[in-house]
């Protein structure tokens, strides 16, 4: 079984004469770009906005906290957009994606929002992005719309129903269903509490280690 370094990566089974294409599903924040909400917390000094899915496993609980804090402090969408405009991809992220695109079909599967993520996508080569949508009224975030229940697992399962083999990497509790559904799942720079709760997933602390795991 071998691989060709082009946009479509083929794994050839010489016994069956079959061709399989691998998809690599990646989380976004904490894996390729900084945590956007933590950037807002740094700008505003609001400690509650430092919380992520690494701290609060249930996404609905986390978002309700964020919406409450935004309303209490009258934080505008414009302010958040100004924070995002100053963010850059994590060091090495663009190079890692260049490496990955030569070997996999790359899909970003995130619990962020299109209004947040699209400016950052342009900085990492505009890969496929599946995420959620914000509801914004008069420059204030009033709610959000989830793409579908259990969206990360469902995204991996959808690729699998199309006969793709899926590898996945993420850094937090909300990535576990994606890693579990994939044929191979890995943590990337996940905190100790997440790794301890889910020790079955190998972990990487840098992109070089992640490349090694993906090629293993």
Cα-trace Rg, the chain:
18
Please tell me which residue in 27, 35, 111, 175 is annotated as part of the active site.
27
CA dist 34 → 53, 111, 147, 213 (Å)? 14, 14, 22, 22
27 as an active site residue: the answer is yes
Please tell me which residue in 18, 22, 29, 95 is annotated as part of the active site.
29
53 within 8 A of 60, measured Cβ to Cβ: no
91 token code pair = 């060091």
- Cα-Cα-Cα-Cα dihedral of 136, 149, 185, 14, to 10°? -110
Question: Which candidate, 103, 72, 113, 84, places its Cα nearest to that of 8?
Answer: 103
CA dist 179 → 4, 70, 150, 202 (Å)? 25, 31, 12, 10
State the catalytic residues: 27, 29
């Amino acid at each position: 079984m071998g691989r060709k370094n082009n946009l479509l990566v083929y794994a050839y089974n010489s016994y069956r004469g079959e061709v399989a294409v691998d998809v690599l599903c990646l989380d976004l924040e904490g894996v390729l770009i900084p945590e956007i909400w933590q950037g807002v917390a740094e700008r505003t000094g609001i400690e509650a906005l430092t919380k992520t899915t690494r701290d609060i496993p249930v996404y609905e609980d986390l978002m309700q906290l964020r919406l409450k804090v935004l309303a209490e402090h009258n934080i505008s969408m414009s302010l958040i957009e100004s924070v995002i405009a100053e963010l850059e991809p994590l060091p090495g992220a663009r190079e890692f994606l260049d490496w990955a695109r030569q070997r996999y079909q790359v899909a970003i599967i995130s619990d962020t929002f299109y209004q947040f993520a699209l400016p950052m996508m342009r900085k990492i080569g505009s890969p496929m992005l599946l995420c959620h949508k914000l509801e914004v009224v008069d420059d204030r975030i009033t709610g959000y719309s989830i793409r579908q229940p259990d969206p990360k697992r469902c995204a991996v399962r959808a690729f699998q129903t199309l006969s793709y083999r899926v590898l996945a990497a993420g850094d937090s509790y909300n990535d576990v269903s994606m890693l579990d559904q994939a044929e191979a799942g890995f943590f990337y720079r996940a905190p100790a509490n997440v790794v301890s709760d889910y020790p079955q997933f190998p972990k990487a602390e840098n992109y070089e280690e992640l490349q090694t795991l993906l090629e293993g």
